[in-house]
A and B are shown apart, each in its own frame.
Chain A
Amino acid sequence: MEVLLFAAAALRISVPYALAAMGAAVSERGGVICIALEGIMLNSALAYVLGTHWSGNPWLGLACAMLVGVLTAWLHAEVTVRLRADQITSGLGINLLAAGLTRFVLVRVFHSSSNSPRVEGLPEWNLFGLAGLPGLGPLLGSPLVLLTLACVPFVWWLLFRSVFGLRLRSMGENPEAAASLGLRVASYRTQGVLVCGALASLGGAWLASEQHSFNDGMTGGRGYIALAAMIVGKWNPIGAAAACLLFGTADALQIRLQGSAFPSELLQALPYLVTMLVLAGFIGRAVAPRAVGVPYDPEQR
């Protein structure tokens, strides 16, 4: 039971990471770095709370979250794909903007600079009696957890087995080649970023639904961790999800060990260290899509 509870905790923590990391994999495979994950999640979390608060229906809240997440991603796509501005800076700008905007709305709407009132979480599902399982039950009853589990193979299929994925990956590796065959680079890259926005927005909605409220800065760097997990997972949604599970386990362990003599803070730093080692080529080889981060300029051939 103890083990099961721990596994449930680790899985629970991994959910938003995994959603955002899979989104980042889609975006980066298409050639757009998405440091904006943090901002997308933050905006979506607030949108979930607002939507649920006003409508009383968490499903409408979820729809709001997705809409806002996709809109935030669209802003990133406009700036980086259409205007061809620097992708990293745009992501950081969007993160700052989201931090400010959510606080602004929080103060304006709920007259608090720290948190919203309590809202409903997403209701439980009892598919195949999964929710009744000991230990893992409450987790597997959550629709977003099930959705996340379903997303892992689906996003993999989208990237590696669909026509869209084939074309998208060619945009991230060699957009000139894709363009020379008449494919529209900007369109595919934008779609990749939007898919990323949709996935990351689910992560944001999950956070808000779990905590039944919005707290200022509640993503707490999860977007950056997701990005790191995506790198450790080598730009593959399954790898990224697995890395998220690893990071989530480290997190859960750290929470367990808090207050004990064990230096749990070092455990907290572990995912970042692993990422740096992977990046330097010490653990396997992580090769980014070749054209990632490079704006595609059809005039420069």
Chain B
Amino acid sequence: MLAPTVSLRDITRTCGTVLANDRVSLELIPGQVHAIVGENGAGKSTLMKVLYGLFQPDSGQILVDDRPVRLPDPEAAMRLGLGMVHQHFMLVDTLTVAENVVLGREPTRGAGAFDHARAEREVGALAERYGLPVDPRARIGQLSVGAQQRVEILKALYRGARVLILDEPTAVLTPQEVDELFVVLRALQRDGASIVLITHKLAEVKALADQVTVMRAGRVVGGGRVADCSVEAIAEWMVGRVLVPLQQRSARAPGATQLQAHALEVADDRGLPAVRGISFQVRAGEVLGLAGIDGNGQHELLEALAGLRGPRAGRIEIAGRVVSGRDAREHRQAGLAHIPADRLRRGLVPDMTLAENLVLGRQREASHGPWLGGRALNERARGPLTEFDIRPPEPTARAAQLSGGNQQKLIAARELGTRNADAPQIRAILAAHPTRGVDLGAIEFLHGQLLAARDAGRAVLLVSSELSEILALSDRILVMYEGRIVHETTPATTDERALGQFMTGRHSPGAELTRPSPTGSPR
């Protein structure tokens, strides 16, 4: 084996209070593709930011060509031959391909005149050499996502990159574009480049990578030669077994359907299909778990169900009312509660008080005529604040002052409606990653509350990438993969390994859909 181009040794880096990288080591070999896999928040992106000079490690060493280096900024990384293809492209939409590629290292004709022709020639030649079909004269904004990604790769190559870091490169691509990308990457590999592939799609690891490193909670938990690792083993490393205490669940027959999606199709921000015809029902007193690896359409599905994104086709019913195409208020009025995935952006107004956040989305029910606020609002917050053990239990504290776990409890106190006098009309609850990034105590508490809501006769749709959570709470489980439901099962008849296979697309869609479930088929 060749000597490594880059070695990372015992890299440790904290982000806030979280240990994002805990003594992480890895080596990048010329001509090899090295996959780094792990769930969201496992520390992959932090590690790559350290490698690209965007973050400084707290401790540990970076060696390039066996010499220790410091990478104070991306420029230093670029000079050493490191190139990065960001997940969110760093491109200027209004400029041409050539302009984007040469930006910062432009060919000139003296007197500060930009040599357009030469830039286009050079970029064209570079594109041809590496087999990256893209027109140097085209404007970025008019290119497909796949072509934009090729421009990002060209940017790195133009700067002489020997190591190419790709952050979830396939997340935004169509299947055809993925194939094209792989052709390019293999060509680069043959050319002797080291390629780092950050992903959580195991099929890609198997298809492309030589080496794999699995990260979880900031640490390297497994890895090796891809040829020596089974997909099952990688999936198990990745998902891990977070110790979630099992909750006591009362057995009860579910009631009437409260939340229903019928042949739902939803597009993502770029207008590409993200949800491709999904149908399901959630009944009163039932938790329906939706398992899946992030980025398989769950985000768009949830936004559509919450009234934040209009579906392209299909129907949504809440407590028997058709609400598809209506705004969030009508969804809520029909009886929907929503624990959003992004608590700071969608779930809370951080600069408002706890008392105010406790009525956000329920402001109509909580007001007396036109009036809302003042001492009454603060007083009615005390109950939920103490019962959900939110600290500090100060109604006038701002939500921004709370820890992540307490912020999540604040949202739960508002949305679950178990102890909320204003919310008896809540019929269905969307719970998106309700325990992401919170401590174990809060997880246990939130799980208990979700089950209490179920027992109080509400229909709960739980979306999570934590399989242990799905298995612990759900009455039924659906698995989502590439915008479709590929599997339906129950916790009693499945386990993490089986679910992981469906989540990673190892079973052909449709094969399992016909299996009847004890609590009713989705159709």
Name A's B-contacting residues (CB within 8 A): 161-167, 169-170, 173-174, 176-178, 180-183, 289-290, 301
Contacts and interface: CB of A to CB of B under 8 A. Distances in A.
A166 B90 contact: no
Tell me whether chain B's interface is mostly helix, strand or loop, or mixed.
loop
Nearest to A173: B92
Given A178-B103, A182-B78, A162 B90 contact: no
Given A161-B113, A163-B112, A181-B78, 11 more contacts: A161-B114, A163-B113, A163-B114, A169-B92, A170-B95, A173-B93, A173-B95, A174-B91, A180-B84, A182-B104, A183-B104
B74 A182 contact: yes
A160 to B, nearest CB: 9
B94 interface: yes
A169 B91 CA distance: 12
Range, interface on chain B: 20 to 34
A184 to B, nearest CB: 10
Interface in B77-91: 78, 84, 86, 89-91
A173 B95 CA distance: 9
B122 interface: no
A235 to B, nearest CB: 10
Contacts of B100: 177
A180 B89 CA distance: 11
Given A163-B108, A165-B114, A177 B73 contact: no
Given A183-B103, A183-B104, A166 B91 contact: no
Contact of A167 (B75, B84, B103, B113): B103
Contacts, number: 65
A177 B99 contact: no
Nearest to A175: B92
A138 to B, nearest CB: 34
Contacts of A289: 94
A168 to B, nearest CB: 11
B103 A181 contact: yes
B114 A166 contact: yes
A163 B75 CA distance: 19
Contacts of B114: 161-163, 165-166
B177 to A, nearest CB: 21
Tell me which of A173, A176, A182 has the highest count of chain B C-beta atoms within 10 A of its own C-beta.
A182
Nearest to A181: B104
Nearest to A287: B94
Contacts of A180: 74, 84, 86, 90
A77 B90 CA distance: 25
A182 B54 CA distance: 11
B106 interface: yes
Contacts of A169: 92, 94-95
Contacts of B86: 180
Contacts of B92: 169-170, 173-174, 177-178
Contact of A301 (B54, B78, B95): B54
Contacts of B54: 301
B391 to A, nearest CB: 28
A289 B94 CA distance: 9
Nearest to A171: B92
B91 A177 contact: yes
B103 A166 contact: yes
A139 to B, nearest CB: 31
Interface in B158-187: none
A174 B95 CA distance: 10
Contacts of B116: 161
Given A176-B90, A182-B74, A167 B112 contact: no
A180 B103 CA distance: 10
Nearest to B54: A301
Contacts of A161: 113-114, 116
A162 B90 CA distance: 21
Nearest to B78: A182
8 tightest A-B CB contacts, nearest first? A182-B75, A177-B90, A181-B104, A180-B90, A173-B92, A170-B92, A163-B114, A174-B92
B114 to A, nearest CB: 5
A149 to B, nearest CB: 21
Contacts of A182: 73-75, 78, 104
Contacts of B74: 180-182
Given A163-B114, A164-B112, A182-B73, A173 B94 contact: yes
A164 B104 CA distance: 10
A166 B116 CA distance: 11
B95 A166 contact: yes
A165 B113 CA distance: 9
A183 B89 CA distance: 17
A167 B104 contact: yes
Nearest to A157: B113
A163 B94 CA distance: 16
Contacts of B95: 166, 169-170, 173
Interface in B446-486: none
Contacts of B75: 182
Nearest to A176: B90
Given A169-B95, A170-B95, A178 B112 contact: no
Interface string B252-284: 000000000000000000000000000000000
A138 B99 CA distance: 43
B166 to A, nearest CB: 15
B486 to A, nearest CB: 35
Tell me which of A166, A173, A183 has the highest count of chain B C-beta atoms within 10 A of its own C-beta. A166
A162 B89 CA distance: 24
15 contacts: A162-B113, A162-B114, A163-B106, A164-B112, A166-B106, A173-B92, A173-B93, A173-B94, A174-B91, A174-B92, A178-B92, A178-B104, A180-B74, A182-B78, A183-B103
Contacts of A177: 89-92, 100, 103
Contacts of A167: 103-104
Q: Point out which of B75, B92, B104, B113 has the most chain A C-beta atoms below 10 A from its C-beta.
A: B92
B111 to A, nearest CB: 8
A290 B91 CA distance: 12
Nearest to A29: B94
A183 B78 CA distance: 13
Nearest to B93: A173
Contacts of B112: 162-164
Contacts of B73: 182
A178 B105 CA distance: 11
Nearest to A290: B93
A178 B95 CA distance: 12
